[in-house]
Amino acid sequence: MILINRFDGGVSLMRLIGEAKADEEIGKWSKRNPGMYRSHIEIKDESVPTDRTFRDAWVLSGAGVIVDMNRARELWREVMRRARADRFAELDVQYMRAIETEDSAAASAIVKKKEELRGVTLLPDIDAATTPAELRSCWPDCLN
């Protein structure tokens, strides 16, 4: 496998097919992605993480791939935002019903839940996480 180290800090992983030559294929890739090629190395499959949760945070380190935790945190927050959007939609429906039935207690509970959701991307555990596994474990129940 060929790892292409990109100028945006990320990595692309190229697999050659048949008798294809690495230089030619990298040339094709560079033509398709102008200004992105920084360097390339040949790596073993084992050097690539099997967990792709943070694939877009992969960076080259030495002769292998590691997860850039700063990027990973942003990716994780984006995942949280997408999950949160669904929950917000559900809570909006519940809130309207509570208003219609003049159930103020239920409405207040829903407001609290929404506040909790708004705060999930600000959880200190996200910034405190030092490994992808720790980061992945930052998933409050309100998102489920």
**Residues 5, 37, 43, 55: which binds another protein (CB under 8 A)?**
55
Query: Does 14 engage in binding with another protein (CB under 8 A)?
Result: yes
Least separation, in Å, of the C-beta of 51 and another protein? 8
Query: Does 82 engage in binding with another protein (CB under 8 A)?
Result: yes
**Residues 25, 74, 103, 116: which binds another protein (CB under 8 A)?**
25
Please check whether residue 11 is in contact with residue 4, taking contact to mean a CB–CB distance below 8 angstroms: yes
Contact range with another protein by CB under 8 A, out of 28-36, 95-103, 108-116, 122-130: 28-36
Contacts by 40-46 with C-beta closer than 8 Å and gap 24+?
40/2, 40/3, 40/4, 40/5, 40/14, 41/2, 41/3, 41/5, 42/1, 42/2, 42/3, 43/1, 43/2, 43/3, 44/1, 45/1
**Residues 33, 47, 94, 121: which binds another protein (CB under 8 A)?**
33
Contact range with another protein by CB under 8 A, out of 46-54, 92-100, 101-109, 123-131: 46-54
Phi, psi of 7 (to 5 degrees): -70, -20
Please tell me whether residue 20 adopts helix, strand or coil conformation: coil
Where does this chain bind another protein (CB under 8 A)? 4, 10, 12-18, 20, 24-25, 28-29, 31-33, 50-53, 55-56, 82, 85
